[in-house]
C-alpha cells in the first residue's frame, strides 16, 4: 500500500534573474516493506503560479513512474505511438535498458488531459534524442540573438535545430553553467522553456550545499570546474550558425512534428501509468538515444534535471 505525506512547496525569485520564479515541491512516499522515498519536483517561469504548477507536475511524473511505486505484478498496457498497436508488459519491464554507453531515450509527462499528456511525453523523448544528436554534431543549428537573451546576465547562446521548434539554452556565470532544452510546437514556447530550465538548473546545481542525486554528482562537480565549462561552451560555439534570426512566430502541429521526426524513431511506445489524479505517461524508444552520455572525449555530460 502506498502512502504519501502532503506535498510541500516553496517559490522564490530566481537568483540568476529576478523576473523568473523557481518553485520546488517535495513529498515523502512510504511503500510497505520499503524505505521511505523523497520525491522532488522543480519548476521555473516568469509567473509564480505557473512555476508551482510545473513543480507539482514533475512530482507526479517522478512519483508515478518510479519503479518502487509500481506493483511488480501489475501489467501495463502500452501502445505504439504511430501504428496504435497495443500490448501488455510487466511494470519492471518498463525500466529495462540496454547495456552500453548510450542509453535509450525515455520521456515522462503529467497532465489532466490524456491527449496532451501523451504529446508532452513524446516531445520530451524526442527532445532528449535531439540533444544527443546535437552533442554528436549531427544537427544543423542556428544561433538566436533575440531580446530574451538580454535579460539573463552572462548568457551565452540559444540554438534552434534544423528549423524545428527546439531550443537549447545556456546560462553561465563565474561559478556555474546551467543548460536547458525544450522541444515544443512553437519556437516561442521552446525558447521560453529552454531559458527557464537553464535558469532553474543554474539556481539549484550552483548551490554549494546542494545534495545532487548520486548519478548527477560528477556532472555537478564538472559544471563548477572552469575548464569543463569552457569545453562545453566552446563545443556549442563551434556548431554551424546562421546570421538570420529565426521567426519566433514559427509553429507546427504536433501530428506534423511527429510525422516529420518519424524517420528517426522506428517505434515509440507509450505507457499510461496508474496515476489516480490526472494522467501520467512514460514513453520509450529503443531506436532513439538519451543525452546523458554524449560520448565525446573531453566534453562533460550535459546536466540532467531528474530526481528519484
Report the CATH number that the domain containing residue 27 is assigned in CATH.
Answer: 3.30.160
Set of cell numbers at residue 226 = 572552469
Domain boundary among 238, 257, 288: 238
Q: Are 246 and 142 in contact (CB under 8 A)?
A: yes
Residues 254, 220 share a domain: no
Residues 172, 161 share a domain: yes
Residues 261, 132 share a domain: yes
Position 132 in a domain: yes
SS3 36: coil
Query: Which is more confident, 174 or 117?
Result: 117
Q: Write the DSSP assignment of 78-133 as a string of letters.
A: EEETTT--EEEEEGGGGG---SSSSPEEEEEEEESSHHHHHHHHHHHHHHHHHHHH
Q: Are 90 and 82 in contact (CB under 8 A)?
A: no
Position 304 in a domain: no
| 117-126, 201-210, 265-274: range with highest mean pLDDT | 117-126
Residues 151, 225 share a domain: yes
At residue 156, the pLDDT reads 47
Residues 226, 153 share a domain: yes
- The Cα-based distances of 289 to 95, 107, 210, 284 in angstroms read 15, 11, 29, 10
Mean pLDDT for all residues in the chain: 78
Total of domains in the chain: 3
> For residue 190, which phi and psi values (nearest 5 degrees)?
-65, -40
Residues 258, 131 share a domain: yes
At residue 167, the pLDDT reads 84
At residue 164, the pLDDT reads 82
Average pLDDT of the residues in 183-206: 87
Average pLDDT of the residues in 162-166: 81
At residue 2, the pLDDT reads 60
Confidence of residue 306 (pLDDT cuts 50, 70, 90): very low
At residue 207, the pLDDT reads 75
Residues 133, 115 share a domain: yes
Domain boundary among 193, 213, 238: 238
Position 116 in a domain: yes
* Structural domain containing residue 47: 1-69
The C-alpha R_g of the chain, in whole angstroms, comes to: 19
Position 101 in a domain: yes
Q: Are 59 and 27 in contact (CB under 8 A)?
A: yes
Confidence of residue 188 (pLDDT cuts 50, 70, 90): confident
Position 306 in a domain: no
Residues 226, 91 share a domain: no
Set of cell numbers at residue 307 = 530526481
Average pLDDT of the residues in 168-195: 85
Position 160 in a domain: yes
pLDDT cut 70: percent of the chain above it: 76
Closest CA to 58 of 43, 69, 71, 46: 43
Q: Are 55 and 9 in contact (CB under 8 A)?
A: yes
Position 305 in a domain: no
| 8-22, 82-96, 151-165: range with highest mean pLDDT | 8-22
Domain boundary among 238, 258, 275: 238
Residues 151, 23 share a domain: no
Residues 147, 133 share a domain: no
Tell whether the model's pLDDT for residue 285 goes beyond 90: no
> For residue 237, which phi and psi values (nearest 5 degrees)?
-65, -25
| Residues 24-69: tens digit of each pLDDT | 999 888 777 777 888 889 999 999 999 999 999 999 888 888 777 7
Position 19 in a domain: yes
Residues 253, 201 share a domain: no
Residues 130, 252 share a domain: yes
Tell whether the model's pLDDT for residue 307 goes beyond 50: no
Residues 114, 293: Cα–Cα separation, whole Å = 31
Query: Which is more confident, 302 or 195?
Result: 195
Amino acid at each position: 500500500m502506498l502512502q504519501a505525506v502532503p506535498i510541500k512547496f516553496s517559490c522564490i525569485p530566481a537568483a540568476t534573474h529576478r523576473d523568473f520564479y523557481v518553485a520546488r515541491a517535495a513529498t515523502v512516499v512510504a511503500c510497505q516493506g520499503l524505505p521511505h522515498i523523497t520525491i522532488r519536483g522543480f519548476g521555473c517561469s516568469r509567473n509564480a503560479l505557473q512555476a508551482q504548477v510545473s513543480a507539482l507536475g514533475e512530482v507526479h511524473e517522478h512519483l508515478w513512474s518510479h519503479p518502487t511505486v509500481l506493483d511488480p505484478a501489475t501489467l501495463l498496457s502500452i501502445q505504439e505511438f504511430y501504428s496504435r498497436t497495443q500490448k501488455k508488459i510487466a511494470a519492471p519491464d518498463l525500466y529495462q535498458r540496454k547495456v552500453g554507453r548510450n542509453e535509450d531515450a525515455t520521456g515522462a509527462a503529467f497532465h489532466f488531459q490524456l491527449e496532451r499528456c501523451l504529446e508532452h511525453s513524446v516531445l520530451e523523448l524526442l527532445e532528449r534524442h535531439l540533444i544527443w544528436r546535437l552533442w554528436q554534431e549531427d544537427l544543423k543549428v542556428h544561433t538566436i540573438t533575440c531580446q530574451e537573451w538580454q535579460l539573463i546576465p552572462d548568457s551565452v547562446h540559444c540554438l534552434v535545430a534544423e528549423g524545428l521548434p527546439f531550443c537549447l539554452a545556456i546560462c553561465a556565470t563565474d561559478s556555474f553553467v546551467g543548460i536547458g532544452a525544450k522541444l515544443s510546437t512553437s519556437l516561442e514556447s521552446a525558447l521560453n522553456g529552454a531559458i527557464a530550465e537553464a535558469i532553474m538548473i543554474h539556481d539549484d546545481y550552483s548551490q554549494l550545499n546542494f545534495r545532487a542525486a548520486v548519478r548527477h554528482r560528477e556532472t555537478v562537480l564538472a559544471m563548477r570546474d572552469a575548464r569543463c565549462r569552457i569545453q562545453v561552451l566552446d563545443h556549442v560555439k563551434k556548431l554551424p550558425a546562421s546570421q538570420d534570426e529565426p521567426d519566433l512566430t514559427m509553429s507546427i502541429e504536433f501530428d506534423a512534428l511527429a510525422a516529420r521526426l518519424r524517420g528517426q524513431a522506428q517505434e515509440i511506445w507509450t505507457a499510461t501509468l496508474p496515476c489516480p489524479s490526472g494522467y501520467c505517461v512514460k514513453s520509450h524508444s529503443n531506436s532513439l538515444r538519451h543525452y546523458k552520455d554524449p560520448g565525446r572525449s573531453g566534453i562533460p555530460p550535459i546536466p540532467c534535471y531528474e530526481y528519484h
